[in-house]
Amino acid sequence: MRAILLLLILLVPLPALAQSCPAPLAGARKLVLVTALDMASANATLQRFNRPTPQAPWKADGGPVAALVGHNGMGWAHAFRAYAKDREPIKVDGDKKAPAGFYRIGRPFGFQPSRLRDYLRLAEGTVCVDDPHARAYNTITSRAKVGNRVHGENMSRVPDYAHGLVVDYPTDAKARAGSCIFIHAWLPGKTGTAGCVAVRTPAVLKLQDFAQGGAVLAVLPKQALDRFKECLPQAAN
């Protein structure tokens, strides 16, 4: 019986094995890995990785750079709360924690024009809605569409957003699970974010190029790396 089981394991195709990794990491070919010492730390490290196929090992694309996460560290995103251990916090609106988990990186954005594919130029009236009572919660839209009563961040007035990338964050309005998560510029004097990931402007520009064609962002405390050791770069463990 054991011999049969061993044979079945050996015959399982590698793509099936990859599916045990959390979505969207399982099929990713580009990874932006952000790690902090623990759930409470605002200081983090960001590094890019790529691989030719989802079954190949990850390889570093450049060296690590310093990053910031939330002023109050991290909390597990509502969508990934099953991975929380030992009373690790779960992210909610207004907690100033970056959401731990795995997310597709979305559109690049900024104040100036760009030739980047699907680039979003932030104009006066561009808002990201953080009002959980609004139908447009966790979306980027215009003030003209949502009206003045809906609370949203006027993105063109935030200097940190001069260069950035949208994070496709799977939120839950009923659970007040957080909204408007970005990778954006780390400006001088800043020691944390409201829940985003921040790196120096040259690193943001490299990320905008790197993420063209699709990439995944992983935000994790180092204590959680072993929970995903078969899915992440060996250098991270």
pLDDT of residue 237: 63
Sign (positive/negative) of CA torsion 169, 107, 70, 67?
positive
Average pLDDT over residues 49-78: 97
Give pLDDT tens digits for 138-149.
Answer: 999 999 999 999
Which structural domain, as residue segments, surrounds residue 31?
Answer: 2-236
Domain with residue 78: its CATH number is: 2.40.440.10
Give pLDDT tens digits for 169-192.
Answer: 999 999 999 999 999 999 999 999
**Residue 47, Cα to own-chain centre: how many angstroms?**
13
Sign (positive/negative) of CA torsion 101, 151, 127, 192?
negative
- Overall number of domains in the chain: 1
Instruction: Give the 3-state secondary structure of the chain.
Output: CHHHHHHHHHHCCHHHHHCCCCCCCCCCCEEEEEEECCCCCCEEEEEEEECCCCCCCCEECCCCEEEECECCEEEECHHHHHHCCCCCCECCCCCCCEEEEEEEEEEEEECCCCCCCCCEECCCCEEEECCCCCCCCCCEEEHHHHCCCCCEEEHHHCHHHHEEEEEECCCCCCCCCCCCCEEEECCCCCCCECCCEEECHHHHHHHHHHCCCCCEEEEEEHHHHHHHCCCCCHHHC
**Is the pLDDT score of 76 beyond 60?**
yes
Residue 7 or 61, more confident: 61
Give pLDDT tens digits for 201-215.
Answer: 999 999 999 999 999
